[in-house]
Amino acid sequence: MTKKYDVVIVGAGPAGLMAARTAGENGLSVALVDRKTDIPKVRRADGGAIGVNEYLFEHMVTFNEKAKLLCFPSDGFTVPYSGPYSNIYGFQVYSPGKKRILFGDWEAAKKRGDEVRVGVSISKDQLLRGLLDECKKYEVEIYPGINISDIKKSGRKVQVSGDGKTFEGTFVIAADGVNSRIARLLGFNKERKFMGTYRYLSWMMEGEIPVDPGCFNFVLTEKSTYAVLDTYEKGIYHIDAFDSNTKVDLNASLEEFMKDRTYGSWFAGCRKVGEVNCVSNIMSPLKDPFKDNILLIGDAAWTMEFSNMAALLCGWKAGNAIALAFVDKKLNRRGISSYLHWWKKEFYNPYGSYEFGPAGGGGGILQSLLSGEEIDYLVSLIQEPFPATMNFFTLFNTIGRAYAELFPRIQEERPEVMDKLFAMREKLEEIGEDIRKAGFPNR
Ligand SMILES: Cc1cc2nc3c(=O)[nH]c(=O)nc-3n(C[C@H](O)[C@H](O)[C@H](O)COP(=O)(O)OP(=O)(O)OC[C@H]3O[C@@H](n4cnc5c(N)ncnc54)[C@H](O)[C@@H]3O)c2cc1C
């Protein structure tokens, strides 16, 4: 027999768990369904970094380690987190010849610690576990191991089905991630701009890597781009390769990085202790993420890497909006209009058209346009550290502004590099087109 709920939530990542907890806290009857059998076990690549003490999407997170809470003071709610953590003090960008652009002051970090952190590296498994426990406390019915494959309107209700089970809700929240099947089944993806299929491979390495503690490093070798991330576990690092060229062998690329003539020595005493990967289709975000009493939240409605913080925010807002719809007896679009206004005002309008572009997609795109020596030269022009940040928008905008100011100097010192930078915009458009053609849009 089909079980009936006020709200059925598909996907138990940070967005879905938070929506389930909030709807449960408000006294609604909630079913939470995920295809994973062990919900808190994270199988998809994720750096586990949460930016704190600075605004991201105009919202703020702080971390109260004594009370074991991630706090959202700009919004007025908290999320339990009792797992291990370490501080993050910013980003560094390394050139093929080991020149660096710094976003953060590591000398201050050594002396002032928590005071100057801009993020915490956490265990995402533990974050999800804490939320799952809260869902249980609020009597959310949890269904792991069910892959939802169908969704349809049935009178004034919505039915979702998979693996021989059907759930009926007055509302459905689709929090099924960046490659959302529900978005595709409802026809949302037909209207979305497709920007390519990106793949990530993350190796966990045990040992000592000589990077500044508490740092997210982007490393550009002569051939490709990698991320080296310090984690919450001392002596464990994530080494990531990412590429929009679907034919590139990411394992081979990481093996090559481990033997790179400049960076290979970093990994000499390390051993691989695990790996995760993921494939993401990048589409433009949804302007109106609601149809037939189905609300899409988190990565399902965004473009890529919305972030755990934004996913939690969406879950919180969605759970509350649906609770209001019941109190106001408006079991329709009007009932959840607080969510739709919020989404448009806080996310879609200010950030919805922002594209990091193909150069941000990793691989060797920048290296195909500039030589290693030219990248070294450009990186060496930035002498002073930029203020610490964990915000990608700030990172990209700061780098863009800094080089715009340096153009006259580059023109004088290295006119041939300047010519390449001028030609880059057009070339990146061509590369972007190739990436789109090579991808697999899930329309
Ligand atoms: C390489 C990489 C690194 C990242 N690093 C960070 C980081 O350091 N910090 C940060 O804040 N963010 C990071 N992110 C982004 C972050 O992982 C996501 O933004 C966040 O997990 C989105 O949460 P979500 O709940 O919307 O979706 P997800 O976390 O993707 O959860 C979706 C859930 O839906 C389930 N599901 C999917 N389809 C179905 C189905 N058909 N039926 C049932 N269940 C289904 C999945 O099993 C999953 O549990 C990273 C992303 C990538 C790709």
**pLDDT of the residue at 362:** 73
Please report which confidence band the pLDDT of residue 441 belongs to, taking 50, 70 and 90 as the band edges.
confident
Q: Which atom of ligand 1 is nearest to the CA of 36?
A: 47
pLDDT band at 128 (very low <50, low <70, confident <90, very high): very high
Q: Is 385 exposed, middle or buried (0-12, 13-18, 19+ CB in 10 A)?
A: middle
Residue 272 or residue 396, greater confidence: 272
177 pLDDT band (50/70/90 cuts)?
Answer: very high
Neighbours of 258 (CB within 10 A): 17
Q: 125 CB less than 6 Å from ligand 1?
A: no
Categorize the per-residue pLDDT at 116 as very low, low, confident or very high, splitting at 50, 70 and 90. very high
The superfamily CATH assigns to domain 90-111+196-280+365-443 is D-Amino Acid Oxidase, subunit A, domain 2 (3.30.9.10)
Alpha-carbon distance 388 to 214, whole Å?
Answer: 12
Q: Is 119 in the pocket of ligand 1 (CB under 6 A)?
A: no
Amino acid letter at 12? A
Residue 45 CA, closest ligand 1 atom number: 1
Q: What is the pLDDT of residue 388?
A: 96
Same fold flag, 3-83+123-193+284-351 and 90-111+196-280+365-443 = no
CA–CA separation, 96 vs 75, rounded Å? 42
Q: What is the mean pLDDT of residues 228-240?
A: 95
Residue 16 has pLDDT above 90, yes or no: yes
Which residue's C-alpha comes closest to atom 52 of ligand 1?
46
How far is Cα 88 from Cα 84, in angstroms, rounded to an integer? 13
Q: Using the atom order of ligand 1, give the atom closest to the CA of residue 278.
A: 53
> Distance between CA 191 and CA 194 in Å, rounded?
9
Give the 3-state secondary structure of residue 283. Answer: strand
Q: Is the CB of 289 under 6 A from ligand 1?
A: no
* Ligand 1 centre distance from Cα of residue 391 (Å): 18
C-alpha–C-alpha distance, residues 326 and 437, integer Å: 45
CA–CA gap between residue 280 and residue 299 (Å, rounded) = 10
- For domain 3-83+123-193+284-351, the CATH class is alpha beta
* Pairing, β 271-283 against β 290-291: unpaired
Distance of CA 215 from the midpoint of ligand 1 (Å): 22
Mutate to test the pocket of ligand 1, among 163, 305, 356 (most ligand atoms within 8 A of CB): 305
CA of 177 to the centre of ligand 1 (A): 5
The dihedral region occupied by 99, where left means phi > 0, alpha psi between -120 and 50, and beta the remainder, is beta
Give the helix ranges, DSSP H, for 138-222.
181-185
pLDDT, tens digit, for every residue of 278-337? 999 999 999 999 999 999 999 999 998 889 999 999 999 999 999 999 999 999 999 999
pLDDT in tens, 18-29: 999 999 999 999
Query: Which three-class secondary structure state does DSSP give residue 401?
Result: helix
Q: How many CB atoms lie within 10 A of CB 299?
A: 27
**Helices assigned H by DSSP within 102-244:** 106-112, 124-137, 181-185
Q: Is the CB of 257 under 6 A from ligand 1?
A: no
DSSP state of 56: B
pLDDT in tens, 181-193: 999 999 999 989 9
Residue 361 has pLDDT above 80, yes or no: no
pTM: 0.96
Nearest CA owner, ligand 1 atom 35:
11
How many residues can be counted in the chain? 443
Contacts with 365 (C-beta within 8 Å, 6 or more apart), sequence order: 225, 244, 358, 359, 428, 431
282 close to ligand 1 (CB < 6 Angstrom): no
Confidence band of 356 (pLDDT split at 50, 70, 90): low
Tokens of 379: 């990186």
Contact 169, 256 (CB under 8 A): no
Cα of 332 to ligand 1 centre, how many Å? 27
pLDDT band at 353 (very low <50, low <70, confident <90, very high): confident
Q: Is the pLDDT of residue 60 over 80?
A: yes
Domain layout of the chain by residue ranges: 3-83+123-193+284-351, 90-111+196-280+365-443
Question: Which residue has the least CA distance to atom 16 on ligand 1?
Answer: 307
Rounded to whole angstroms, how far apart are CA atoms 297 and 415? 47
Mean pLDDT of the chain: 94
Rounded distance between C-alpha atoms, residue 286 and residue 290, angstroms: 9
